[in-house]
């Protein structure tokens, strides 16, 4: 998600959303950058894709925290190979000429310490807040994502009420996601603003009062254990105080929180996959045979 520190972001290998033509463009740009910068060993590149156009955010001629994750995902000791390359070995000698594309999905998720700091707002930004990382692996992206969430301490519920309240620019985009949760058997709860958009789309929702506009409000539902999942994308300065109280209340009562549309979509993907296929556990070594 743009504007969020890469160390706090979830990521997946291989990609599940980029087109073949965009991947080819990324490969071409990466090769060109490596050759032009005369990099021997590891190089970290951050790209952004918007409206079908590729942007280079930064290029670092060094390793990054992503390397151990990539090694686990592919079964290749990239740090060892890179070190030998820096010492003069060729990629051909090291058996590392070909791109490795795993047949399974590996989802990296960040681990946050928010439950240790009551009252803190868990919304992410350019400053890194995570204190660790975990990974989930599965042939299905949705199941891999759910495994990563569980490993990170997010206990995503399989049923119950999901509270959805998003900022104005996300209101139209949240409709399809809300419908997916409804189809999965969840009861969608919302305040008036987001609720109006969802109702107009034909979705039956339970409306709850905003903070200070009546009782019970959303915080009451969280405290009473009625809300099992919170989807809330940050709004403007006018709504920040109430949103912070809601998100902090969710942390205090151990309710999983999603603060981006991409995260909400991935959560829906995960729940759909798990309800359909369930979980299968396999040793890491078995994925790389």
CATH number for the domain whose boundaries are 1-155: 3.30.470.20
- How sure is the predictor about 123, in pLDDT bands with cuts at 50, 70 and 90? confident
Confidence of residue 1 (pLDDT cuts 50, 70, 90): low
Cβ neighbours for 181, distance < 8 A, ≥ 6 positions apart: 162, 164, 188, 268, 271
Q: What percent of the chain has pLDDT over 90?
A: 67
- Helix, strand, or coil (residue 199): helix
Kindly report, residue by residue over 196-231, the tens digit of the pLDDT.
999 999 999 999 988 878 888 889 999 999 999 999
Residues of the chain with CATH 3.30.470.20: 1-155
Structure tokens at 148: 């990563």
Instruction: Cite the residue boundaries of each domain of the chain with CATH code 3.40.50.1380.
Output: 157-255
Nearest to 212 by CA among 243, 187, 168, 236: 243
Q: Write down the pLDDT at residue 289.
A: 83
State the DSSP H helix or E strand holding residue 84, giving kind and residue range, or none if neither. Answer: helix 78-86
Q: What is the pTM of this model?
A: 0.89
Please give the class, per CATH, of domain 157-255: alpha beta
Q: Is the pLDDT of residue 268 over 80?
A: yes
């Amino acid at each position: 998600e743009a504007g969020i520190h890469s160390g706090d972001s979830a990521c997946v290998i291989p990609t599940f959303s980029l087109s073949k033509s965009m991947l080819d463009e990324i490969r071409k740009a990466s090769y060109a950058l490596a050759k032009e910068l005369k990099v021997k060993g590891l190089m970290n590149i951050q790209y952004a894709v918007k409206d079908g156009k590729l942007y280079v955010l930064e290029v670092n001629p060094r390793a990054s925290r992503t390397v151990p994750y990539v090694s686990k995902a592919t079964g290749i000791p990239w740090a060892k190979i890179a070190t030998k390359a820096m010492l003069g070995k060729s990629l051909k000698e090291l058996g590392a000429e070909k791109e490795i594309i795993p047949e399974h999905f590996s989802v990296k998720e960040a681990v946050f310490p928010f439950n240790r700091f009551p009252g803190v707002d868990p919304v992410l930004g350019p400053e890194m807040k995570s204190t660790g990382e975990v990974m989930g692996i599965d042939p299905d992206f949705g199941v891999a994502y759910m495994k990563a969430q569980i490993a990170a301490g997010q206990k995503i519920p399989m049923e119950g009420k999901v509270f959805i309240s998003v900022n104005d620019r996300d209101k139209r985009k949240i409709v399809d996601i809300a419908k997916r949760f409804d189809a999965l058997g969840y009861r969608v709860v919302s305040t008036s603003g987001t609720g109006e958009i969802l109702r107009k789309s034909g979705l039956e929702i339970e409306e709850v009062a905003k903070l200070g506009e009546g009782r019970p409000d959303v915080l009451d539902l969280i405290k009473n254990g009625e809300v099992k999942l919170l989807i809330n994308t940050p709004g403007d300065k006018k709504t920040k105080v109430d949103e912070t109280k809601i998100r902090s209340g969710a942390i205090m009562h151990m309710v999983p929180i999603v603060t981006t549309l991409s995260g909400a979509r991935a959560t829906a993907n995960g729940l759909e996959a798990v309800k359909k296929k369930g979980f299968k556990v396999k040793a890491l070594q078995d994925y790389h045979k």
